Chain A
Amino acid sequence: MAPALAPPPADGNPPEVSAALTTTTVQVTSGFRGARIVLYGAVFDPRDRPSDVVVIVRGPDQPIRIARKTRVGGLWINSRPVVFQGAPGFYMAASSRPLDQIAGFGVLRRLGAGIDHLAMNAPAEQRVETRYGVRDMVVSRLGADYLDWRRAVVRLKQRAHLYDADDHGVTFVDKGLFKSEIDLPTEAPIGQYRAEIILFQDGQPVSRRVRDLTVEKVGLERALYLFAHHWPWTYGFVSVGVALAAGWGASAAFRRR
Chain B
Amino acid sequence: MFDLYLPIAEISVNAPLLVALGAAVGFISGLFGIGGGFLMTPILLLIGIPAPVAVASLSSHVAASSTSSVISYSRARAVDFRMGGVLASGGAVGSFAGVEVFRWLRLLGQADLAVSLCYLVFLGIIGGLMLVESLGAILRQRSGKGAPPRRDKRPPWLYGLPLKMRFPRSRLYISIIPPLALGVFVGMLSAIMGVGGGFILVPAMVYILRMPAGVVVGTSLFQIIITTTLTSVLQAGRNQTVDIVLATLLLIGGVIGAQAGAKASSRFRAEELRAILALIVLAVGIRMGIGLFLAPEEPFLLMAGAG
Contacts and interface: CB of A to CB of B under 8 A. Distances in A.
Nearest to A78: B109
B307 interface: yes
Contacts of B302: 64-66, 153, 156-157, 160
Contacts of B255: 246-247, 249-251
B136 interface: no
B10 A69 contact: no
A12 to B, nearest CB: 50
Query: In terms of DSSP, what is the predominant structure of the interface of chain B?
Result: helix
B41 interface: no
B67 A239 contact: no
Interface string A72-91: 00111111110100000000
B151 to A, nearest CB: 37
Interface string B231-253: 01111111010101101100110
A24 interface: no
A240 B56 CA distance: 11
Contact of A233 (B60, B229, B236, B298): B236
A248 B67 contact: yes
B155 interface: no
B272 interface: no
A80 B244 contact: no
B8 A225 contact: yes
Interface stretch (A28-36, A40-48, A100-108): A28-36
B5 A239 contact: no
Nearest to B112: A78
A116 interface: no
B4 A243 contact: no
Contacts of B4: 30-31
A251 B254 CA distance: 12
Interface stretch (B87-95, B183-191, B207-215, B288-296): B288-296
A3 interface: no
Contact of A156 (B69, B240, B298): B298
A221 interface: yes
Given A83-B306, A217-B7, A248 B71 contact: yes
Nearest to A221: B7
Given A65-B109, A224-B8, A239 B303 contact: no
Nearest to A148: B300
Contacts of A246: 64, 68, 248, 251-252, 255
Contacts of B298: 155-156
A68 B294 CA distance: 14
A243 B256 CA distance: 13
Interface in A205-257: 217, 220-222, 224-225, 228-229, 232-233, 235-240, 242-244, 246-252, 254-255
B12 A33 contact: yes
Contact of B301 (A32, A71, A156, A221): A156
Contact of B11 (A70, A149, A186): A186
A75 B293 contact: yes
B160 interface: no
B63 interface: yes
A66 B236 CA distance: 25
A33 B7 contact: no
B3 A228 contact: no
Given A33-B12, A67-B300, A229 B71 contact: no
B65 interface: yes
A243 B60 CA distance: 6
Q: Which 10 pairs, one residue from A and one from B, show the smallest C-beta to C-beta distance? A: A236-B236, A247-B67, A250-B255, A152-B300, A81-B109, A236-B233, A243-B64, A63-B306, A247-B64, A247-B68
30 contacts: A30-B5, A31-B3, A33-B5, A64-B302, A66-B303, A67-B301, A76-B291, A76-B294, A78-B109, A78-B110, A78-B301, A83-B307, A187-B11, A228-B7, A232-B236, A232-B237, A232-B240, A236-B232, A236-B233, A237-B233, A239-B244, A240-B229, A240-B232, A240-B233, A243-B60, A243-B67, A246-B252, A248-B68, A250-B259, A251-B69
Interface of B: 3-5, 7-8, 10-12, 60-61, 63-69, 71-72, 108-110, 112-113, 225, 229, 232-238, 240, 242, 244-245, 247-248, 251-252, 255-256, 258-259, 291-296, 298-307
